[in-house]
A and B are shown apart, each in its own frame.
Chain A
Amino acid sequence: MFQLLLKILPSRVAYAHCDVPCGIYDPKPAQLAAATMLKMTEILGEAGSDEHKRTRATLTKEEHGRILKHELGILWSDYFKPEHLDKFPDLHDKFWRAMKQTSQVKQTVDAEAAKDLVARVDEIAEIFVQTKS
């Protein structure tokens, strides 16, 4: 039965390699993580004394801070190459400051800091797009 489904259903290729290097990079997960940290910061600002809501929002903000640093690290260490520095000489600094801002947003409940983080990550994503074209 399954053999029949394999024959008649539309098929797509999926890649499982990814090592060495796989060439699959995307700044979107980093942008989503930064957006989530901002949303959680806003929820915390409005949660008042709702302990359960505060706890869940804090946990989510913390986890997405971890995800964001992970994703930024991948782009920085694996995607970007020395030749990109010709066009974007302050690239390392942008990554360093974005990582530091991620820590700041984890450690505080500061919507302005969270918005700043979103802007920094969006800037890196824009550089990524420009290096693709």
Chain B
Amino acid sequence: MLPTLRPGDQVLVWRPGLPDPGDVVVAKFGHQFVVKRVQKAAGDSYELLGDNPRAGRSFIVPETQIVGRVFFLQKFDEGD
């Protein structure tokens, strides 16, 4: 999710409601959480993609696996 997110950044996630295209969301995929931007809604799933031009594959995630929308970002500060 470069350049938007960098390792060590922290986000707050708003659980209620459904995301719109353009929102950054946290989703459960496999056994991990991923943080990606919503490209589009596809039926009852969402297509997610990283901001990085080299992000590679998109993920398709059912609505039930969307944890929530990112609404606050605290950038990682070496001085913390």
Output the least CB separation between B66 and chain A (Å): 12
- Does A64 lie within 8 Å of B72, measured CB to CB? no
A-B contact count (CB 8 A): 81
Q: Mark A63-81, 1 if CB is under 8 A from B, else 0.
A: 1101100110010001000
- Cβ–Cβ contact B56 & A18, under 8 A: yes
Q: Bits for B65-80, please: 1 = Cβ < 8 Å to A, else 0.
A: 0000000101000000
**Which residues of chain A are within 8 angstroms of B44 by Cβ–Cβ distance?**
36
Contacts of A20-41 to chain B: CB distance below 8 A: 20-22, 24-26, 29, 32-33, 36
Bound CA span A78–B31, Å: 18
| Interface mask (B48-69 → A, CB under 8 Å = 1, otherwise 0) | 0010101111111110000000
User: Which residue in chain A gives the minimum CB-CB distance to B2?
Assistant: A16
Q: How large is the interface on A (under 10, 10 to 19, 20 to 34, 35 or more residues)?
A: 20 to 34
In the complex, chain A residues whose CB is within 8 Å of the CB of B58: 70
Taking a contact as CB atoms under 8 Å apart, the answer to whether A70 and B60 are in contact is: yes
A63 to B50, CA, bound (A): 22
* CB pairs A–B below 8 angstroms (20 shown): A2-B72, A2-B74, A14-B32, A14-B33, A15-B34, A16-B1, A16-B2, A16-B36, A19-B50, A19-B54, A19-B55, A20-B56, A24-B29, A24-B59, A29-B60, A32-B45, A32-B62, A63-B42, A63-B43, A67-B42
Interface residues of B (CB under 8 A from A): 1-2, 5, 10-12, 26, 29-30, 32-36, 42-45, 50, 52, 54-62, 72, 74
Q: Report A's interface with B, CB cutoff 8 A.
A: 2-3, 5-6, 9, 11-22, 24-26, 29, 32-33, 36, 60, 63-64, 66-67, 70-71, 74, 78
